[in-house]
Chain A
Amino acid sequence: MAANQKQVAISEFFEKNKHFLGFDTLNRALITAVKEAVDNALDACEEARILPDIVVKITKLDNKKDILQLEVEDNGPGIPRASIEKVFGQLLFGSRFHAIRQSRGQQGIGITGVVMYSQLTTGDPTHVESKIAKEATAVSVDIGLDTRKNKAIKSNQDRIDWGEKAHGLKVKTKMKAKYQRGRQSVWQYLRMTSIVNPHADILFIDPDGEKHHWQRVTERLPGRVEAIKPHPNGIELGQLQRLCSESSESRMTKFLRRTFSGVSQRAAKQLCEVSEIEEKLKPKSLTPQQVRALLEAFQGERLLDEKPVKLLNPPTSCLSPIEELLIKKGLSKTIDSKFVTTMTRAPSVTQGNPFQVEVGLIFGDGMAADKPVEILRFANRVPLMYQQGGCLLTKAIESVDWRQYGLDQAGGRGVPKGPAAILVHLASTNVQFTSEAKEALSDNETVMEEARKAMLEMGRGLRKHLEKQKKMGKTKEKFELINDIIPAIAEKSAALLELPVPDLAGSITKIMSAVIAETTTTWNKETKQTDVHITLYNYTARARSYTILVNWPERQGATMVGNELGGRKEAMGVWAWKLETLQPGSRTVITYSLDGLEKGDWNETDVFYRGSQEVIGATKMDEKLLEEIRRQEEALNAPPPDEDIDEEGADESPEPEAVKPEPVATAGDTKQTTLFGGDY
């Protein structure tokens, strides 16, 4: 009876509070509905290890009354017939609300909210079709809600033939809603979703019948995330009470070790000691005072030798970052610009919850140069579209002085301006929002610091790119000058004076008085290779000799082909050619192609030189840096040290520390960044 009453309260709660559950405006209601359906589809596909194909279609049914129909279809595992009414007809159904791991679904009220909103605004039930692989036909059923009893009302249940399609889910619902375009729209939501889910294929058909297709750019599904046990630092009193009273363990120490992550045998004993609880006590029999004492011990308020009990960090296997390469692909496919830099920080922990920050920045022509940059915020791969200003992730962007990295920013604060979009993704087992609306992340110093560090690192990548662009621009100008303008001046002046056209060589050498390297890196559609051309011109009055070096994605599995000049490997990912002496006014061309890459994987080649005279368009090789790369390579090739393997629940063995240590910026690291940038 008590449980029943609680559920009634939930249903009515929705009816009265739809404003902060994401159904407050007609536009937002539609976005929320799409979001619930698409998040479910992505989560289900991920769990079943299926590459998702999702189709979203919105149709206008009644223009005057703002009635729309939303259809979302996926190729996920489908829902067994018996579970359909629970998933669609009961609020807060599902296992993920209890499991501690990263999941999308944490963030919404669930698809039931959509069914409820549909019913409240149109009076109609929601149509669901579901097929699971082991059944020959799909279930077709209409789901309505008894909002007082928090129960589904099924009607028109039938079985239908789905033809070829082996499994999936189709939801069709009507609702009072408005379709709008712009920054807060279904289109933007799906676009953002596709950026952080590069493994998904999303097709959107808008009310005008226009098709928007975001194609899959990787066949790689996000890593399987594991559920982890709660960490003592992140526990609240009520939760601890429940865990104690529901435990069937015989001793406190065993209970502590098995129920929580990060608690070793020694720590368990110490926790008991500081909270003055006997080790052999049954957790079930703890008094409320003892539970409170234990919580104080968890939170470090009870000390042992003037120190809190030392706990290990929780494992981070429960996190699923998108990872740099895929962020890069996701951004590149959605925004047509050249330069992308990304940064995935190592996992970290705040209040017992593992989290990880990832950022990406895309820069270039496709975007407005005088407007604030587009901010793409995500929590556990779910786009955040409202309350941008109040969000921790936005604040992290605003806290960086972007002027030093080449973006405009008034006073070095606030959202920078420029042709760029910045992506920030927080992966966490427990995303903290500012409100129930779950659109803005609440302040947290540890997360903020991680996000800031990620931005700074990414900013350095941008600055390097811009500097290179500028250099290349200058070289290009020089070439235009000597190839086009000077000859035109010579011809025109000769014609006006009716004199012969003078020889230009002298003027050109005087104007350039430099050795210049011109480099192009282009994708060749036909050969599916990346072609690199480097031309070295000697516009000085003396003969010059050089060794030219380049970086190339050897580590990423590329192979170098068509390299007629030969040369030799200097280090992992560094190739060198010792060139013959270059006479004044002459040039040498180096060409090669990179095989085994995809379009967009390698857009820029860094060129270095060894030689006395400066080469415009190349960087003088830093020999120490090269040494460092060689050393790193040797370290990588050395046999790995034995690793402790985490044995879940192995009784007396200490739990190894699963969190990777913070990457320390060693001298070598920083230098490596200067050679290869944050690019690859």
Chain B
Amino acid sequence: MAERKSIEETKTALHDVVREMYDRIVKGEPPTMTLPVRTKNNIGFDPKLGVYKYGKKQTIRDATSLGSAKQLLRALHVIEFIESMIDDGKSSTLREMYYISEGWGLGKFQSQNESNNLAEDLEIVTRCLREDFKLRPEEDGARMIGNLTLRERNRRGEWMRINARDDVGDSGYGVPYNVEAEKIEFLEHDINFIMAIETGGMFDRLVENGFDEDFNCALLHLKGQPARSTRRIMKRMSEEWDLPVVVFLDGDPWSFRIFASIAYGAIKTAHISEYLATPTSTYLGITADDILAYDLPSDDLSKKDIEALNAELSDPRFADGWWQEQINMMLEVGKKAEQQSLAKYGLDFVTETYLPEKLQQLGL
């Protein structure tokens, strides 16, 4: 299980990566780096953790092609950089690291995607978290509104008590990139469940209609594919307060993936699924049958949508009967619908009719 490592543990884990390369050269072989295959073909359900994790398939990145040799060299530069940050007590964003790599000559990154992926590769191989590497994302986390109180340690190191309903404006409480215990502690709450919402428009609609108070819940804006910190805070709240999470998204193949990453773990971060995923979360809508049942304004599925749905049919995370049914139904109907298409029946329809009906089905 991925958990926070000590400085020494982190350094040793990183040195093991270096050692693999060095030893191969000494043996007169091309240097290598061994890591798990990071595709849907190599994720499997871990019944102990209740989430999807990488399986046993491994890929050996060896320096026989220019591309992978450069990857190895970059990994060495990143390791050197991480060590120096650990030693100097500094941290940097992934983007900063990307720019710093400008000075790495042959080992410099061609795109930020490359540097992000490599940071993940190292997390996976070393079983450390990027927080251990002193690397943080520049993406901001979600925003949240609801009657719950937490305390956050601010820049000056002081704890601030914040109620996410009374102490915040209309945009809610901003979730920081670090939501670990050293930064955030949950104090008390008067809510029955957490509702995660895909779009800002819908989040604002529910806030304006006072849905959080009427239904005693916390509203969380995911901002599309949720950042790690967003998934992590959901996980912590759900676990520590024993609250159910319901997920309210658009009704399209991409939303299904968002849900899978929240509930079962994302393929890209399957090495830390148990740390990020909330297995108890439920998909509320928009479901494929909602499109028919509520006669929602819809768009035809694009070629890419259909490809995505077909890919999901063979994704182990969607192997469950209900999901197979939903995906097949969407393929059959050939339609997708946005959350905000509910506005067809007026601005209050979502809070007065749709959500109450759906929540009742879930017994909330």
Nearest CB in chain B to that of A506: its residue: B28
- Tell me if A's interface is mostly helix, strand, loop or mixed: helix
Q: Confirm or deny: B24 has a beta carbon within 8 angstroms of a beta carbon on chain A.
A: yes
Q: Confirm or deny: A493 has a beta carbon within 8 angstroms of a beta carbon on chain B.
A: yes
Chain B: minimal CB distance from A410 (Å) = 17
Across the interface, do B73 and A507 meet the contact criterion of CB distance under 8 Å? Answer: no
The interface bits of chain A over 42-63 (1 if a CB of B lies within 8 angstroms of the residue's CB, else 0) are 0000000000000000000000
Residues of A within 8 A of B85 (CB): none
Across the interface, do A502 and B25 meet the contact criterion of CB distance under 8 Å? Answer: yes
> How far is B28's CA from A499's CA once the two chains are assembled, in angstroms?
16
Residues of A within 8 A of B69 (CB): 481, 485-486, 489
- Tell me if B's interface is mostly helix, strand, loop or mixed: helix
> How far is B107's CA from A480's CA once the two chains are assembled, in angstroms?
13
Residues of A within 8 A of B22 (CB): 490, 493-494, 497, 499, 502
The interface bits of chain A over 481-516 (1 if a CB of B lies within 8 angstroms of the residue's CB, else 0) are 100111011101111110100101111011100000
Chain B: minimal CB distance from A485 (Å) = 4
Q: Confirm or deny: B63 has a beta carbon within 8 angstroms of a beta carbon on chain A.
A: yes
Q: Confirm or deny: B77 has a beta carbon within 8 angstroms of a beta carbon on chain A.
A: yes
Across the interface, do B80 and A511 meet the contact criterion of CB distance under 8 Å? Answer: no
Residues of B within 8 A of A507 (CB): 24-25, 28-31, 63
Q: Confirm or deny: A477 has a beta carbon within 8 angstroms of a beta carbon on chain B.
A: yes
Across the interface, do B15 and A486 meet the contact criterion of CB distance under 8 Å? Answer: no
The interface bits of chain B over 31-47 (1 if a CB of A lies within 8 angstroms of the residue's CB, else 0) are 10000000000000000
Across the interface, do A484 and B28 meet the contact criterion of CB distance under 8 Å? Answer: no
Residues of A within 8 A of B107 (CB): 488, 492
Q: Confirm or deny: B154 has a beta carbon within 8 angstroms of a beta carbon on chain A.
A: no
Across the interface, do B30 and A493 meet the contact criterion of CB distance under 8 Å? Answer: no
Across the interface, do A490 and B18 meet the contact criterion of CB distance under 8 Å? Answer: no
> How far is B65's CA from A481's CA once the two chains are assembled, in angstroms?
7
Chain A: minimal CB distance from B290 (Å) = 40
Q: Confirm or deny: B337 has a beta carbon within 8 angstroms of a beta carbon on chain A.
A: no
Chain A: minimal CB distance from B30 (Å) = 5
Across the interface, do B18 and A496 meet the contact criterion of CB distance under 8 Å? Answer: yes
> How far is B74's CA from A488's CA once the two chains are assembled, in angstroms?
10
Nearest CB in chain A to that of B83: its residue: A496
Contact of A497 with B19 at beta-carbon distance under 8 Å, contacts A480-B66, A486-B31, A506-B27 already known: yes
Contact of A510 with B19 at beta-carbon distance under 8 Å, contacts A485-B70, A485-B106 already known: no
Across the interface, do A510 and B18 meet the contact criterion of CB distance under 8 Å? Answer: no
Across the interface, do B80 and A484 meet the contact criterion of CB distance under 8 Å? Answer: no
Which residues of A from 262 to 317 have beta carbons under 8 Å from B?
A: none
> How far is B19's CA from A494's CA once the two chains are assembled, in angstroms?
9
> How far is B77's CA from A331's CA once the two chains are assembled, in angstroms?
47
Which residues of B from 56 to 113 have beta carbons under 8 Å from A?
A: 63-66, 69-70, 72-73, 76-77, 79-80, 83, 105-107
Across the interface, do B76 and A493 meet the contact criterion of CB distance under 8 Å? Answer: yes
Chain A: minimal CB distance from B72 (Å) = 6
Across the interface, do A485 and B28 meet the contact criterion of CB distance under 8 Å? Answer: no
Q: Confirm or deny: B21 has a beta carbon within 8 angstroms of a beta carbon on chain A.
A: yes
Interchain Cβ contacts under 8 Å between A and B, 8 examples: A481-B66, A484-B106, A485-B70, A485-B73, A488-B106, A490-B22, A496-B18, A509-B28
Which residues of A approach B to under 8 Å, CB–CB? 477-478, 480-481, 484-486, 488-490, 492-497, 499, 502, 504-507, 509-511
* Pairs of residues from A and B, 7 with the lowest C-beta to C-beta distance, nearest first: A506-B28, A492-B76, A493-B22, A477-B66, A485-B69, A502-B25, A502-B26
